[in-house]
Chains A and B, each alone.
Chain A
Amino acid sequence: MALQQSYLDFEKPLAELDKKIQELLAFSTEGVDLSAEVANLEEKAERMRQEMFANLSRWQTAQVARHINRPFTLDYLSLIFTEFVELHGDRNFGDDHAIVGGLARLDGEPVMVIGHQKGRDTKEKVFRNFGMPNPEGYRKALRLMEMAERFKLPIITFVDTPGAFPGIGAEERGQAEAIARNLREMSRLTVPIIVVITGEGGSGGALAIAVGDRILMLQHSVYAVISPEGCAAILWSDGTKGAQAAEALKLTAKDIKDLEVIDEIVPEPAGGAHRDHEAMAKNLHEALSRNLKELKAIPAEELIEQRYQKFRKMSRFAE
């Protein structure tokens, strides 16, 4: 898959280096040997990339998490799983394209995979509603999870959404009820659930498919109660203060791990998951297989109680 390379603002120096390398490469085809210079520059670029991504600010991390070339659920489905059969519809109202789901095999074993889906080009973005589900998306997810429970299949969810869609129809059809019901039902499902925050973990719209036994976050993903821009609009009365809000919200994988809300951070390839889908998928595949193996060994009743206690402990207060 050849993706059009796309650089974030803070990656500009990197973009310039890459451009120079390309120019040299084009030049060297005309009988001039510049391989030494190219190698030199490539090494420099690689060092710059590693340094840059090792020291991302929270706001920069949020931008990486939203990168247009970041792997989405369907990318992981083709890179990690086999025999994916997409299942559509909530059996009530319609099929929400912002959430995909279906049967697939992980290491040969059947599982149910559900995740938010964003689009890359304008047409696909609109078709996926920018990864913002309506109630029918959450109801489809629940229908598939209940099916998984009936057939004793583990559930794997991929979370990547700016949030649940705030629209008139969404409110009329019970956006709040759909999310709430998923939270309640997921807490009692008798099969293992692994949640992976792959990009943006946007508030209730993310949480509605993120109650599980193991919660993983990719290294440069984010997870928060509100988007930095939304938070800035409310607390700073200025939606452009996203950078400050991102710092305040403490939304990176490391922040969230420190608060003991997630279990594991899955490392990303140098320069972020969007630079190398295969390498990202390999790291994630390993983490999924290992966690699933552990969870499968736990009897259902114990699993549910552990899941309850896991979320039960998530709070900080004084008394």
Chain B
Amino acid sequence: MAWFKRDNPPMARGAEHKVKVPEGLWTKCVSCNETIYTKDIESNLNVCPKCGHHYRISTKKRIELLIDEGTFTEFDAGMVSVDFLEFKDSKSYQDRIDQALAKGGSKDAIVCGSGKIDGTPVQLCVFDFSFMGGSMGSVVGEKITRGIERALEQGTPCIIVSASGGARMQESILSLMQMAKTSAALAKLREAGLPFVSILTDPTTGGVTASFAMLGDVNMAEPKALIGFAGPRVIEQTIRQKLPQGFQRSEYLLDHGMVDVIVERSKMKAQLSSILKMLYKAA
């Protein structure tokens, strides 16, 4: 028998970790645990003003952040995925597509268009993680490839902002082939001497990392983004070892020579603009 008896159950922990991007009035930061006025995070580009933790931001905000006001033209906005394999797990792929579409945001996991960055014309592709985890199927691969081909035709640089769990399983072999297709298009861009900047944000994994995202002339990452080929859980299960501190985070990749530079969100446009102006002279 215990000497001291606990009347109340121990306080539940971990629930606060589930609080994600600001919904309520106050937000407890997942990184520093400070309680912060939600509007303060939002007005700070979804970055915690106390500790600098980068929350995900919408494609719309990302485009506003990078592209000169009024210069963005979207392409292929109406392209949608089809359930050509009639793929079904607990739900059919078609149901998942419909559900994602019902949110009323992007029509697939990427938004592509042209615009200017401090006057430099670019083709820009921005992943939408809120659409099926930013997974890459035929639509994502096709829109990226068209984006790269437009850059080729117009002789401009290309920029891809990644946030993706990888290839979309529901399109099986064809989603795998998007890796080859996009990388082949980048090979042409490279031969034409046009810059490609890959911006890696949280999270960038799987088939997206193992194709265009790692092929930047310059690979830029946001702080502490998860970036890797295999997911941490898969690795842990395979090797049955604890993973090192900070494993697969931007800083870790920088240390191991896989990204060129880590840039805070607020400085992203200025940094990008400066790199583009040094690499690229408009014809």
Partner of A183, one of B145, B206, B211, B257: B211
CB pair B180–A311 under 8 Å, yes or no, is yes
Whether, in the assembled complex, A87 has its beta carbon less than 8 Å from a beta carbon of chain B, the answer is no
Give per-residue flags for A194-209: 1 if the beta carbon is below 8 A from chain B beta carbons, else 0: 0000000001100110
CB pair B173–A174 under 8 Å, yes or no, is no
Whether, in the assembled complex, B142 has its beta carbon less than 8 Å from a beta carbon of chain A, the answer is yes
CA gap between A183 and B177 in the complex, in Å: 10
Closest B residue by C-beta to A183: B183
Partner of A248, one of B88, B145, B174, B239: B88
**Contact residues in B for A188 (Cβ distance below 8 Å):** 184, 187, 191
Give per-residue flags for B208-243: 1 if the beta carbon is below 8 A from chain A beta carbons, else 0: 011111110000000000001110001100110101
CB pair B139–A317 under 8 Å, yes or no, is yes
**Contact residues in B for A181 (Cβ distance below 8 Å):** 214-215
CB pair A315–B230 under 8 Å, yes or no, is no
Whether, in the assembled complex, B277 has its beta carbon less than 8 Å from a beta carbon of chain A, the answer is no
CB pair B174–A259 under 8 Å, yes or no, is yes
Partner of A249, one of B172, B188, B211: B172
CB distance from B201 to the nearest CB of A (A): 15
CA gap between A208 and B183 in the complex, in Å: 11
Partner of B210, one of A204, A259, A318: A204
CB pair B210–A180 under 8 Å, yes or no, is yes
Whether, in the assembled complex, B81 has its beta carbon less than 8 Å from a beta carbon of chain A, the answer is yes
CB pair A175–B210 under 8 Å, yes or no, is yes
CB pair A248–B247 under 8 Å, yes or no, is no
Contact-size category for B: 35 or more
Closest B residue by C-beta to A236: B89
Whether, in the assembled complex, A243 has its beta carbon less than 8 Å from a beta carbon of chain B, the answer is no
**Contact residues in A for B85 (Cβ distance below 8 Å):** 248-250
CB pair A166–B235 under 8 Å, yes or no, is yes
Whether, in the assembled complex, B150 has its beta carbon less than 8 Å from a beta carbon of chain A, the answer is no
Beta-carbon contacts under 8 Å, A198-228 to B = 203-204, 207-208, 210-211, 223-226
Whether, in the assembled complex, A26 has its beta carbon less than 8 Å from a beta carbon of chain B, the answer is no
Beta-carbon contacts under 8 Å, A176-199 to B = 176-177, 179-181, 183-185, 187-188
CB pair A312–B181 under 8 Å, yes or no, is yes
CB distance from A226 to the nearest CB of B (A): 6
**Contact residues in A for B145 (Cβ distance below 8 Å):** 312
Whether, in the assembled complex, B256 has its beta carbon less than 8 Å from a beta carbon of chain A, the answer is yes
CB pair B258–A180 under 8 Å, yes or no, is no
Interface residues of A (CB under 8 A from B): 164-168, 170-177, 179-181, 183-185, 187-188, 203-204, 207-208, 210-211, 223-226, 230-231, 234-236, 244-245, 248-251, 255-256, 259, 261, 307-308, 311-312, 314-319
Q: A234-B169, A317-B142, A319-B79 are in contact. List 4 more A-B contacts (CB 8 A).
A: A167-B239, A172-B256, A188-B184, A207-B179
Query: Can you give 26 A-B contacts (C-beta < 8 A)?
Result: A165-B238, A166-B234, A168-B244, A171-B229, A171-B247, A174-B214, A175-B229, A176-B214, A179-B210, A180-B213, A180-B215, A184-B190, A188-B184, A188-B187, A204-B211, A211-B180, A225-B207, A248-B88, A250-B85, A261-B173, A307-B184, A308-B188, A312-B185, A314-B177, A314-B178, A317-B142
